[in-house]
Amino acid sequence: MVIFALIILIIGVIGLVFGGYLFTADSDRKIAKFISGGLCTFGGLIIALNSFVIINPGEIGLQILFGKLKKEIFTEGFHIKNPFVKVVKMDIRTQAYTMSKRTYEGQIKGDDAIRALSKDGLQLVFDITVWFRLDPSRAVEVYRKIGKYYVYKIVRPAIRTAIRDAAALYNAVSVYSEKRQEFSNKIAEILEPQLKERGIVLEKVLVRNIDLPTKVKAAIEAKLEAEQEAEKMRFVLEKEKREAERKRVEAEGIADAQRIIANSLTSNYLQWYYINTLKELINSPNNTVVVLPFDQRLTPLIQIPQRGGTK
């Protein structure tokens, strides 16, 4: 485009310089100058527009001059450049590559889940998301050796290979349950050096979902359900044990209180309590005659438990 604009500009300049010699009539000369001026303006405008570039945040610009890739890169912002330099923008932000069995969830539309064999020979189906980014310091190298579409050429195959290599080291049940995070770390351990060698920085591997064969999954769920039931029963037994202990302590407290009360009900105490009660009745505004049986010692005739027997 710039070369075409340069040719137009040159034609326009030639027309302005030599147009007066090619035409004898004044009207023809004016038309020639008008056309030549338009060509100069159009060509110059295109060249001017190609003399600067704006790099957006999270991007870098690679410079290619006549097929040669320059080492210098443009960072984000406004830059003045050679109009013949072609700028290729590359993303250096964190990217996510997802492979899932759900349609329209990953980069590939349709079932793109990874199927791999476990250590015990069972087929596992994985939904995976990998976070990564391009190393800005190696962007020129990546573009020269791989190109702009390094995600499909390098990242995707490397992810699939790493998952299959990691799955072969674990039993299906362990990956599905207690060693899930360890499995995720193992994938990252295998994948990171492969991407780093190509100028790509691995950030994190997310194992989003694992599907087991139906029979194995049913067996695991039955086992987990049995463990939950056992845990529930242990809780109930522990609760009943604590309740029994509480009742035993409560019964001991009641028995101790009854013994204390029984030991305190002596004849002298009952006589004193009886006399005080009669005084309250006599002094009451509602005088009431109360007749109670008692013996010569003014002891109410009721059975009083005594130590060693009953009087």
The tally of domains found in the chain comes to 3
* Greater model confidence, 299 or 164: 164
Residue 2: predicted pLDDT? 65
Q: Mean per-residue pLDDT for 2-23?
A: 64
Q: Point out the domain boundary residue: 189, 212, 235.
A: 212
178 or 262, which is more confident: 178
CATH (domain of 174) = 3.30.479.30
- Whether 240 is in a domain gets the answer no
The CA–CA distances, whole Å, from 142 to 72, 135, 153, 198, 288 equal 14, 9, 11, 7, 113
Overall average pLDDT of the 80-84 stretch: 84
In percent, the amount of the chain with pLDDT more than 70 equals 72
* More confident site: 79 or 270: 79
**Domain end residue (candidates: 146, 178, 212):** 212
116 with 194, same domain: the answer is yes
Q: Are residues 185 and 117 in the same domain?
A: yes
pLDDT at 298: 52
Are 69 and 147 part of one and the same domain? no
- Averaged pLDDT for residues 155-179: 89
Q: Is 217 part of a structural domain of the chain?
A: no
In a domain, 305, yes or no: yes
pLDDT at 165: 93
Mean pLDDT calculated for residue range 104-115: 81
pLDDT of residue 307: 46
Q: Is residue 162 situated within a structural domain?
A: yes
Measured distance CA(95)–CA(91) in Å, rounded? 9
Q: Let me know whether 204 and 102 are in one domain.
A: yes
Q: For residues 116 and 69, state if they share a domain.
A: no
Asked if 111 and 78 sit in the same domain, the reply is no
Q: What is the mean pLDDT of the chain?
A: 79
Over residues 188-210, the pLDDT tens digits come to 999 999 999 999 999 999 998 88
- Mean pLDDT over 60-81 rounds to 90
Same domain, 107 and 203: yes
167 in the same domain as 118? yes
Residue closest to 87 by CA, chosen among 107, 105, 65, 103 = 65
Q: pLDDT value at position 189?
A: 94
Inside any domain, residue 245: no
Of 90, 111, 127, which residue is a domain's last? 90
Q: Are residues 99 and 77 in the same domain?
A: no
Please give the pLDDT value at position 25: 60
pLDDT at 57 over 80: yes
DSSP state of 73: E
Give the domain range for residue 290: 267-310
99 with 194, same domain? yes
Average of pLDDT values for 86-109?
A: 87
Asked if residue 133 and residue 79 are part of one domain, the reply reads no
CA distance 57 to 52: 17
User: What does the pLDDT read at residue 17?
Assistant: 63
Residue 276 scores a pLDDT above 90: no
pTM (two decimals): 0.62
> Residue 108: helix, strand or coil by DSSP?
coil
> Do 199 and 153 meet the contact criterion of CB atoms below 8 Å apart?
no
SS3 content of the chain, % helix, strand, coil (to 5): 50, 20, 25
User: What single letter denotes the amino acid at residue 268?
Assistant: N
Same domain, 70 and 130: no
The contacts of residue 191 (CB under 8 Å, 6+ apart) are: 130, 158, 159, 162, 202, 205
Residue 162 confidence (pLDDT): 94
Q: Name which of 31-35, 70-74, 124-128 the model is least confident about.
A: 31-35
Alpha carbons 133 and 6: distance in angstroms, whole number: 39
- Give residue 50's pLDDT band: very low, low, confident or very high (50, 70, 90): confident
Whole-number pLDDT of residue 295: 56
